[in-house]
Chains A and B, each alone.
Chain A
Amino acid sequence: MTSFRLSSLRTFAAALVATALAFTALSPAHAEAKKDFKVGWSIYVGWMPWGYAMDHGIVKKWADKYDINIELVQFNDYIEGINQFTAGAYDGVMATNMDALAIPSAGGVDSTILVIGDYSDGNDAIILKGKDKLEDIKGQKVNLVELSVSHYVLARALENIGMSEKDVTVVNTSDADMIAAYATPDVTAMVTWNPMVAEILKEKDAYNVYDSKKLPGEIQDSLVVNTQTMKDNPAFAKAMTGIWYETMALMSGGDAAAEAAKAAMGEASGTDLAGYEEQLAATKMFYTPEGYIGFTEGNLAELTQFVSKFLFDHGLLGQDATSPDYIGIELADGTVVGNADNVLLRYTTEYAKMAAEGKL
């Protein structure tokens, strides 16, 4: 019996060690100089160039130049990519500024926006069924992905007409099911983004009553990287920046090559060249490093405060947050918006400037 107890104790210990080892896989990535990098992206008009760059050797070309390996991994689920980045499994991810602040930054992961690729200029829209004024939304059930950019657009829109979220009922709805949801009779109001917006607006009774054209620059689609990883591996930041602007130059060339590239991107996102052009029209792309640098020198401080306030109001800056300023945001020129002792989101134009000067 005693020996059995002893042996079961040993089994116990072994099981414990095994489980602990399994959990160590969850340990945070330790920042240091390294050669292999993983970046997550998902299907969206402003991020399709990344997929194109991966498929057409641009990624490999720049990785080889800096003697590193870069793998771009496509996530069918946008949020899962950001969660993986936050957990430390990925070195970079494509995300909006709002999600970058709410997920990795609020989760204590110091993150840097390396490149802003575009901002939404109509891609996110509030659609009403059979009504053509935003004011008609009062009292309706609104289907949207809760706590997403759509939710933000709704909050900002309501604020602009003197209403608040209390005037509507928000129903969390999966983005994959928006088009099917719109087709059901009990759905009468919806906030979503492209390509769903374009699809839904084809319906006769669908009215675009408010879109992100009215919120220029507030919804930025960016490449977000782990700050420590970036500092330890400038080569990674240089290569990513190089990839982006080479692809941008190709895409905006206005020649046959540009058309072919855009057609490929459209196809990869499930539409065609015409459909993709239509989405691009609702997207303010920064085709050049100068465009991005110029944007960061504008009213970025003010824009970030709108986002911080929304996140704070919805408890997304963490339970310890006592004000929208709880997390500090460092702008490209080094000034900090919010709490300077808790800077967890940074904008940088250092590498974009290198690109502009041709030093990459």
Chain B
Amino acid sequence: MRRLINRQPDVVVRFGLMLIPFIAVVIAYMIASEARLSANPNDKLLPGWSTIAAAIERMAFLPDQRTGSYLLLQDTISSLTRLGIGVAVATLIGGIFGVLQGLIPYFRATFSAFTGVLSMIPPLAVLPILFIVFGLGELAKVVLVAVGIAPFIIRDLALRTEEIPHEEIIKAQTLGASTWQIILRIVVPQMLPRLIDGVRLSLGAAWLFLIAAEAIASDSGLGYRIFLMRRYLAMDVILPYVAWITLLAFTLDFALRLFQRIAFRWMYRGN
């Protein structure tokens, strides 16, 4: 009998094992839902499939009676726009500050402790300040997402920049490079794929901040809808929305990974 750590499942078994937890959750949901619905046919906590399907049709494929727009589409566009701008701003700030902080000792001495402290502040705790400064509109939501994840991206990228072998920086200098040229040709091109890693890692937090921002003050968005529906426990809408957010997040992550592979072939060649 070989040790457990040395036993490898084959492709078929691996696929089956992968499905088990998903199937288990679905079946368990069905059992529990059935039990609740038999006690109370109008139960909202664990709605049946037909109720969920009807809710999906209503939200995604039928225009809303009051506004005439497709709610799921509208919510998705609102949320992705906010998320996209927020993450883009955070990436830009993170990229610039991270590289400078990782590369330039004077910059590091000035900002390292500050970004370290900044990243420890829970952004949700200073919301009133964000409101007063940035208003209650779209800007505040984008800022919350950006402020929420930028410190992490800065710190992550600064660490990655510091990990560039010292030899490379010396070599570039012996080739006559100025600080600016080193940043432009040596550091930034190597940090872009790392930056994508950092962004991928912070996407989960970005969604969290987005949904929190939408829960606080909004008139559309995926987080807005979930918190509104929660007011009357409409799990038939909330569950598909949660699944949709998960799918969006997964797709975004996958797209970033794909982009990284295509745009930065040098990382994957040869090894």
A–B touch (CB < 8 A): the answer is: yes
Residues of A at the B interface (CB closer than 8 Å) are: 1, 4-5, 8, 11-12, 15-16, 19-20, 22-24, 26-28, 30, 79, 83, 86-87, 102-103, 106-109, 143, 146-148, 169-174, 177, 180-181, 183-187, 316, 318-319
**What is the 8 Å Cβ interface bit string for chain B, positions 1-41, against chain A (1 contact, 0 not)?**
00000010110010011001101110111011001100111
Q: Which residues of B contact A186 (CB under 8 A)?
A: 135-137
Contact A184 B219 (CB under 8 A): no
B46 on the A face (CB < 8 A): yes
B232 on the A face (CB < 8 A): yes
Contact B39 A23 (CB under 8 A): no
Contact B135 A180 (CB under 8 A): no
Question: In the complex, A316 Cα to B229 Cα: how many Å?
Answer: 10
Known: A20-B28, A143-B217, A173-B216. A79 touches B231 (CB 8 A): yes
Known: A15-B20, A107-B233. A28 touches B40 (CB 8 A): yes
Question: In the complex, A169 Cα to B219 Cα: how many Å?
Answer: 8
Question: In the complex, A1 Cα to B9 Cα: how many Å?
Answer: 9
A-B contact count (CB 8 A): 136
Give A292 Cβ to nearest chain B Cβ, in Å: 26
Contact A171 B32 (CB under 8 A): no
Interface SS of A by simple majority: mixed
Contact A23 B230 (CB under 8 A): no
Contact B219 A19 (CB under 8 A): no
Contact A16 B42 (CB under 8 A): no
Residues of B at the A interface (CB closer than 8 Å) are: 7, 9-10, 13, 16-17, 20-21, 23-25, 27-29, 31-32, 35-36, 39-46, 54-55, 58, 127-128, 131-132, 135-137, 215-219, 224, 227-228, 230-233
Q: Which of A79, A146, A147, A183 sits near B132, CB closer than 8 Å?
A: A183
Contact A24 B35 (CB under 8 A): yes
Give A118 Cβ to nearest chain B Cβ, in Å: 22
Contact A177 B217 (CB under 8 A): yes
Contact B216 A86 (CB under 8 A): no
Contact B232 A147 (CB under 8 A): yes
Subset of 11 A-B contacts with CB under 8 Å: A1-B10, A8-B16, A23-B32, A28-B40, A30-B39, A79-B231, A107-B43, A107-B45, A171-B219, A173-B217, A181-B131
Q: Specify which of B27, B43, B58, B218 lies most central, judged by the most chain A CB atoms within 10 Å of its CB.
A: B43
Question: In the complex, A4 Cα to B4 Cα: how many Å?
Answer: 12
Give A17 Cβ to nearest chain B Cβ, in Å: 9
Contact A28 B232 (CB under 8 A): no
Contact B27 A28 (CB under 8 A): no
Q: Specify which of B13, B28, B128 lies most central, judged by the most chain A CB atoms within 10 Å of its CB.
A: B28
Contact A177 B128 (CB under 8 A): yes
Q: Which residues of A contact B7 (CB under 8 A)?
A: 4
Contact A146 B17 (CB under 8 A): no
Question: In the complex, A11 Cα to B13 Cα: how many Å?
Answer: 13
Give A52 Cβ to nearest chain B Cβ, in Å: 28
Contact A108 B41 (CB under 8 A): yes
Q: Which residues of A contact B227 (CB under 8 A)?
A: 172
Q: Which residues of A contact B32 (CB under 8 A)?
A: 20, 23-24, 26-27
Question: In the complex, A87 Cα to B218 Cα: how many Å?
Answer: 27
Known: A11-B20, A20-B27, A83-B230. A26 touches B217 (CB 8 A): no
Contact B46 A26 (CB under 8 A): yes
Question: In the complex, A185 Cα to B140 Cα: how many Å?
Answer: 13
Q: Which residues of B contact A109 (CB under 8 A)?
A: 40, 42
Give A21 Cβ to nearest chain B Cβ, in Å: 8
A27: nearest chain-B partner, CB-CB: B35
